[in-house]
């Protein structure tokens, strides 16, 4: 109780009613409380723990790097081996045009860096963004929200035009005044609303036609979450700038913008040091990320996603009229009302199962477990969910 009181008094709040769950240990697909009780994690820290919590390879890599150095100077000056090796592996996994990496600390920061890069490279200022998207909470990222959330923080970043996703007629709003078009491949916080292949290809074609840069935000969907290593691979649409975060750091803070080498060199002049970061690409984070990415590949966790998704869909399909939207292990279950959502979440909580909702889908439940979750544990959890919904 003491820690909870201090938490409420000393830790700046983000919501009126925090969950107040107090983890003691995290391992694999479980969080353990102070009493040693196991709680099954169906949230993954909002798609951070794709390979599970505290993967042994990640812990070992952090320990080994901590014996060498923690920080030496600002990003981009010293040759740090784990940083270079991580960038090399990422580029090997991506199309040839995405051949250089700028490491940062968070998804929001990476979005802001993408905006600066595109505006500097094109000499334009207009940003086109899809409605219902979520790209972060810094002022630049906040400005990309189409709802009224940002109004208390005005003035926001100017020059932003919103278009409706999956509406081909909207593509005409991308013109030779547009610096960048930014979108998620799957709008996670809207309740798993996927952009169609046709619309994404239309974005790519219109950006190429107008000289605008296409930025794909894969902070939540990247690194296996959707059953593809990167969600854009499903449709073969290659961005000019790819944004990664969350799962990239394997539990430590790390994000990245990945683009062409020549485009990223734009930051070096006019003005010099166009984007700098003290802790971007921190050696501990890069060591964790490199180990985590290798584990994801070696354990073929992305290849497990479709069968795990099927377990969830097959069980929930037994409920008549239930709406389900899924892209791999990013799943939204529509429960009809916010009240019903909270009832289900609270019931699951009492049964030591952690689930969550979405920012822009007030009646939908989020199911997004680690990609390493045991099939039996997932099956048992989904059976509990089915029973609770039916009751």
Q: What is the mean pLDDT of residues 209-234?
A: 99
Q: What is the pTM of this model?
A: 0.96
pLDDT above 90 as % of the chain: 89
Maximum C-alpha span of the chain: 63
- pLDDT for the residue 262: 96
Interval 5-21: pLDDT, tens? 898 889 888 888 888 88
In angstroms, the first-to-last Cα distance of the chain is: 33
Give 8-28 as a DSSP string.
HHHSPPSSSS-----EEEEEB
Is residue 289's pLDDT more than 90? Answer: yes
Domains assigned to the chain: 2-55+300-390 (3.90.1150.10), 57-298 (3.40.640.10)
pLDDT tens across 98-128, in order? Answer: 999 999 999 999 999 999 999 999 999 999 9
Q: DSSP string of 173-209?
A: G--TTEEEEEEESEETTTTSEEPPHHHHHHHHHHHHH
Mean per-residue pLDDT, 320-346: 97
pLDDT computed for residue 258 by the predictor: 99
| Strand 330-334 with 353-354, pairing | unpaired
Neighbouring-strand partners of residue 174: none
Give φ, ψ of 33 to 5 degrees. Answer: -85, 180
Q: What is the pLDDT of residues 132-154, one digit of tens each?
A: 999 999 999 999 999 888 888 88
pLDDT tens digit sequence for 160-219? 999 999 999 999 999 999 999 999 999 999 999 999 999 999 999 999 999 999 999 999
∠ CA 278-65-221, rounded to 5°: 65
How many alpha carbons lie under 13 Å from residue 365 in its C-beta half-sphere?
30
How big is the CA angle at 152 (ends 149 and 158), to the nearest 5 degrees?
A: 80
Helix (H) or strand (E) holding 255: strand 255-259
3-state helix, strand, coil in the chain (%, to 5): 40, 20, 40
pLDDT at res. 86 = 99
Give dist(CA 391, CA 388) in Å, integer. 5
Which residues is 30 bridged to in the sheet?
27, 40
Q: What does the pLDDT average to over 296-302?
A: 99
Among candidates 135, 212, 142, 144, which has minimal Cα distance to 172? 212
Mean pLDDT of 59-83: 96
**Confidence at residue 257, expressed as pLDDT on a 0 to 100 scale:** 98
CA distance 183 to 203: 10
User: What pLDDT shows up at residue 247?
Assistant: 99
Residue 331 binned pLDDT confidence (cut-offs 50, 70, 90): very high
**Are the beta carbons of 292 and 250 closer than 8 angstroms?**
yes
């Amino acid at each position: 109780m003491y820690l909870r009181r201090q938490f409420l008094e000393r830790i700046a709040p983000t919501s009126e009613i925090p969950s107040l769950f107090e983890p003691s240990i995290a391992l694999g697909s479980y969080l353990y409380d102070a009493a040693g009780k196991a709680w099954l994690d169906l949230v993954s820290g909002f798609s951070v723990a794709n390979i599970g919590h505290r993967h042994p390879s990640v812990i070992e890599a952090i320990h080994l790097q901590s014996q060498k150095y923690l920080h030496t100077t600002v990003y981009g000056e010293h040759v740090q081996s784990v940083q270079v090796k991580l960038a090399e592996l990422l580029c090997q996994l991506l199309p040839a045009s995405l051949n250089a990496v700028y490491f940062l600390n968070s998804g929001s920061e990476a979005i802001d860096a993408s905006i600066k890069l595109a505006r500097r490279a094109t000499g334009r200022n207009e940003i086109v963004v899809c409605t219902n998207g979520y790209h972060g909470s810094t002022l630049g990222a906040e400005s990309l929200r189409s709802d009224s959330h940002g109004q208390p923080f005005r003035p926001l970043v100017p020059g932003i035009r919103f278009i409706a996703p999956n509406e081909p007629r909207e593509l005409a709003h991308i013109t030779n005044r547009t610096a960048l078009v930014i979108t998620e491949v799957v709008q996670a916080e809207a309740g798993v609303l996927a952009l169609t292949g046709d619309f994404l290809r239309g974005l790519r074609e219109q950006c190429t036609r107008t000289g605008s840069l296409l930025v794909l935000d894969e902070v939540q969907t990247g690194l296996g979450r959707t059953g593809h290593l990167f969600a854009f691979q499903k449709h073969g649409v290659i961005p000019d700038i790819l944004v990664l975060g969350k799962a990239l750091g394997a539990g430590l803070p790390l994000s990245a913008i990945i683009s062409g080498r020549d485009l990223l060199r734009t930051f070096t002049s006019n003005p010099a040091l166009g984007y700098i970061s003290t802790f971007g690409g921190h050696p501990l984070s890069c060591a964790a990320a490199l180990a985590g990415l290798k584990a994801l590949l070696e354990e073929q966790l992305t290849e497990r996603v479709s069968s795990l998704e099927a377990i969830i869909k097959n069980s929930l399909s037994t409920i008549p009229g239930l709406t389900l939207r899924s892209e791999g292990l990013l799943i939204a279950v529509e429960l009809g009302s916010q009240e019903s959502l909270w009832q289900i979440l609270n019931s699951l909580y009492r049964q030591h199962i952690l689930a969550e909702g979405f920012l822009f889908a007030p009646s939908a439940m989020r199911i997004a477990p680690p990609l390493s979750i045991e099939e039996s544990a997932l099956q048992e959890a989904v059976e509990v969910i089915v029973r609770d919904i039916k009751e």
